[in-house]
Amino acid sequence: MASNFQAFKIYAKIGIACSTVYYIYLYNRCKKIRIEYTDFDMIQNKKDTTRPSNVYYGINWGYRSDETMEKSLDTGDLLFYNFDCNKCFSPRDTLICKVQ
């Protein structure tokens, strides 16, 4: 009986250590993503200045496709969102997203 309890303690310690390392990894990755998406200068450098409206809807076919998308979004169409759990700003949000 004592050997089962000792094995359980070892597995619990390994599980806690692995969970801690994974949380530290998530925290650092989320911190880097948060800085990347909130840094105004970095956002301005990424924008395409060749387009008059500087709006991008995900289709990389030029200004006319963006203009078409902009007009069609005003018609009441349904929008589908792609939830990417790897781009959350906090480890808690990442874990909740993956559970859902």
Structure confidence by residue, pLDDT tens digits, 37-89: 888 777 777 666 666 565 555 555 565 666 666 666 665 556 666 677 888 88
pLDDT at 28: 95
Domain count along the chain: 1
pTM (predicted TM-score): 0.59
- The answer to whether residues 89 and 34 touch, using CB atoms and an 8 Å cutoff, is yes
Tell me, what DSSP letter sits at residue 58?
S
d(CA 89, CA 33): 7
Residue ranges making up the domain that contains 83: 2-99
Average pLDDT over residues 21-34: 93
66 burial via Cβ count (<10 Å: 0-12, 13-18, 19+): buried
Q: What are phi and psi of 55, to 5 degrees?
A: -115, 140
Rounded-to-integer distance, Cα 95 and Cα 84, Å: 12
